[in-house]
Amino acid sequence: MRASHTGSARLGPWVFALLLTPLLADSAAAQSSDRVRRIAAQSIGELRVWDSAVDRMDRDGTLRLRQRRADAMLESRTHERFDQFYKGVRVHGGDIARQMDDGLTTSVFGGIYEGIGLEDVTPVLSSADARAAIAGLSGAELPDSFEPELVILPRDGGEFALAYQGRAFGAEGLYIYFLDARTGDLLLALDDLKTQATVGRGTGVLGDNKKVSTNRVASGYRTEDELRPPTLITFDMKGNLARTVNFLNGVVSLGVADIAADSDNTWSDPAIVDAHAYAGYVYDFLYRRFGRRGLDGSDSRVLALVHPVDRSTVRSQSNSVVGTFFLNAFYAGGGVMVFGEGLPADVVDVQRRNWNYLSGALDVFAHELGHGVTDFTSRLIYRNESGALNEAFSDIIGVAAEFYHQPAGSGALRADYLIAEDVVTPGGIRSLANPQQFGDPDHYTARYTGTQDNGGVHINATIPGHAFYLAIEGGTNRTSGLSVSGVGAANREQIERVFYRAFTEMMPANATFAVARTVTLQSAVDLYGAGSAVTRAVSEAWTAVGVN
């Protein structure tokens, strides 16, 4: 349903919106879908309106500043992110990103929900009741410190519900549960595993030598990076799935004994070596390419967990465990990443692919850390198009990190546009250059519209990912037949910066592909100018993949 936002019933208490409605009714700056008002203010008139509106909402508590950061690429720019609140309760997915240049607003993007209309936001269930309910749903043992957040949940039918939101790792995986705060009914369960892949197995080590930044202790050496600013620790879970799950649920804490250790600092476990080295590689990439200091921009910790299961037990494990802890890598929030064990050498997946340790691929590692960056920036909702953008950004970071650290080419330890090709052999699991190679869409008209995969977050990620590829390399989209003049491989940094800046500083949480097009173009114009080859390449690329 495409509801007009001109009706006063949808504006509810937002008097400011009522006043602005005539101005914005036909404007590209404000699009209405269900009850979310999408904002993409870039012209002077739109900016004037939305800048004052944001200030007003900030004053009256409708918006609350979540983050203010200096732009790492443009010295004079700052970025603010606001969460939407309704009667003091955060609205899930409602947020606005405002860019300022020396105090003057230069862009406002966002999505805010209208017509919430809940009279009473007092929950019937207590926080403890909600915790117990989530524990029951997930099958997880949750600590007393686990405190679900009271939120307003926009429903698919355009209604709103007062809900408790909590994240738990259970037998079925990592989910965000939304419980009705009055009845305790489950309203929504979002799969929050930002999975990298699901089917395959590995055959061992790639054989390359790496340096491992470690910490010397009395008993030997531990995988604690003491040379880079953030805490980078690699834990060896020693195949103990129960302990891994209990840690992810906050039931147990990992201690010194869980940190990977070696007696002589010559490390022989390839999964540990790659996990620890790549944590540093990706940190270095983000820092040197974008000026970003870690996941949150302030050197927050990164904890890598390897060997979450015993590889030899794969035949006795459930499909869920195999899919999560053997054939997968995922970002579990809070800087924690888990890298699957792969498969024994004599086991292949249904596509007859081998799976190595998931930590052995730089793009996989960077992909997962990309989810961490998203968690600290746009918080793209992991569902439908915003979820696909979430995955696409991680793919882009994965590919960009490869090209930063590895020579271009094909084969092991070479940079390309394939995802996970170093550990899922042959071929990897996705291609940004040719999404159809893996049956993924390369054009908006071919997008997946079903409910599986959280609305196709992995499947449809290749549409913006392919746009990223075309903007760099140029070429012709196989579906539309439209050609793109890319900036060329030698200038890939320009496109990387455009996408990174757009996704981390300006992208709203519930962005659609169309919003992503607008935001990346704004980023390109900001960085390189409206008439630049970069801006033209980005525009052509989105058009070629059918996003206008």
In the complex, least distance from residue 293 CB atom to other proteins, rounded to whole angstroms: 10
In whole angstroms, what is the distance from residue 548 CA to residue 544 CA? 9
Read off the tokens for 428: 């990897």
- Strand residue runs (E) in 192-298: 215-217, 220-222, 224-225, 232-236, 261-262
Read off the tokens for 481: 């037949």
Nearer to other proteins, 136 or 229 (CB): 229
Exposed / middle / buried, residue 315 (Cβ in 10 Å: 0-12, 13-18, 19+)? exposed
Q: Which of 79, 276, 443, 458 is catalytic?
A: 458
| CB-CB contact of 181 with 124 (8 Å) | yes
Segment interacting with other proteins (CB under 8 A) among 208-216, 416-424, 460-468, 493-501: 208-216
Beta pairing class for 232-236 and 302-306: parallel
Segment interacting with other proteins (CB under 8 A) among 65-73, 84-92, 98-106, 207-215: 207-215
For other proteins (CB under 8 A), the number of binding residues is 13
Read off the tokens for 416: 């390309």
| CB-CB contact of 179 with 185 (8 Å) | yes
Our separate counts of H helices and E strands in the chain read 14, 24
Nearer to other proteins, 224 or 395 (CB): 224
Is residue 211 near other proteins by the rule CB under 8 A? yes
In the complex, least distance from residue 227 CB atom to other proteins, rounded to whole angstroms: 5
- Taking CB under 8 A as the criterion, the residue among 4, 209, 268, 319 binding other proteins is 209
Nearer to other proteins, 117 or 229 (CB): 229
Is residue 409 near other proteins by the rule CB under 8 A? no
- Taking CB under 8 A as the criterion, the residue among 78, 127, 213, 543 binding other proteins is 213
In the complex, least distance from residue 210 CB atom to other proteins, rounded to whole angstroms: 8
Is residue 475 near other proteins by the rule CB under 8 A? no
User: What are the distances in angstroms from CA 225 to CA 278, 329, 422?
Assistant: 11, 21, 24
Segment interacting with other proteins (CB under 8 A) among 273-281, 428-436, 459-467, 489-497: 273-281
Nearer to other proteins, 265 or 320 (CB): 265
In the complex, least distance from residue 298 CB atom to other proteins, rounded to whole angstroms: 15
Cα angle 297, 328, 196 (rounded to 5 degrees) comes to 55
User: What are the distances in angstroms from CA 249 to CA 167, 202, 368, 423?
Assistant: 8, 28, 19, 28
- Concatenated DSSP letters of 297-366: SS---EEEEE--S-GGGGGGS-HHHIIIIIS-EEE-STTEEEE-----TT---TT--EE--GGG-HHHHH
Exposed / middle / buried, residue 455 (Cβ in 10 Å: 0-12, 13-18, 19+)? buried
Nearer to other proteins, 86 or 281 (CB): 281
Q: What are phi and psi of 184, to 5 degrees?
A: 85, 0
Q: Is 458 labeled as catalytic in the residue annotation?
A: yes
Nearer to other proteins, 277 or 495 (CB): 277
Is residue 129 near other proteins by the rule CB under 8 A? no
In the complex, least distance from residue 289 CB atom to other proteins, rounded to whole angstroms: 12
Read off the tokens for 247: 């840690």
Segment interacting with other proteins (CB under 8 A) among 61-69, 158-166, 226-234, 324-332: 226-234
In the complex, least distance from residue 287 CB atom to other proteins, rounded to whole angstroms: 6
Q: Which of residues 493-522 bind other proteins (CB under 8 A)?
A: none
In the complex, least distance from residue 128 CB atom to other proteins, rounded to whole angstroms: 44
In the complex, least distance from residue 395 CB atom to other proteins, rounded to whole angstroms: 24
Q: Is 368 labeled as catalytic in the residue annotation?
A: yes
Nearer to other proteins, 228 or 238 (CB): 228
Is residue 227 near other proteins by the rule CB under 8 A? yes
In whole angstroms, what is the distance from residue 289 CA to residue 370 CA? 14
Nearer to other proteins, 149 or 284 (CB): 284
Q: Which of 114, 368, 402, 473 is catalytic?
A: 368
Computed on alpha carbons and rounded to an integer, the radius of gyration of the chain in Å comes to 23
Is residue 228 near other proteins by the rule CB under 8 A? yes
Is residue 229 near other proteins by the rule CB under 8 A? yes
Is residue 216 near other proteins by the rule CB under 8 A? no
In the complex, least distance from residue 205 CB atom to other proteins, rounded to whole angstroms: 17
Q: What are phi and psi of 75, to 5 degrees?
A: -60, -40
| CB-CB contact of 355 with 342 (8 Å) | yes
In whole angstroms, what is the distance from residue 64 CA to residue 503 CA? 20
Q: Which of residues 274-313 bind other proteins (CB under 8 A)?
A: 277, 280-281, 284, 287-288
Nearer to other proteins, 121 or 412 (CB): 412
Which positions touch other proteins (CB under 8 A)?
Answer: 209-211, 213, 227-229, 277, 280-281, 284, 287-288
Instruction: Give the residue numbers marked as catalytic.
Output: 368, 458
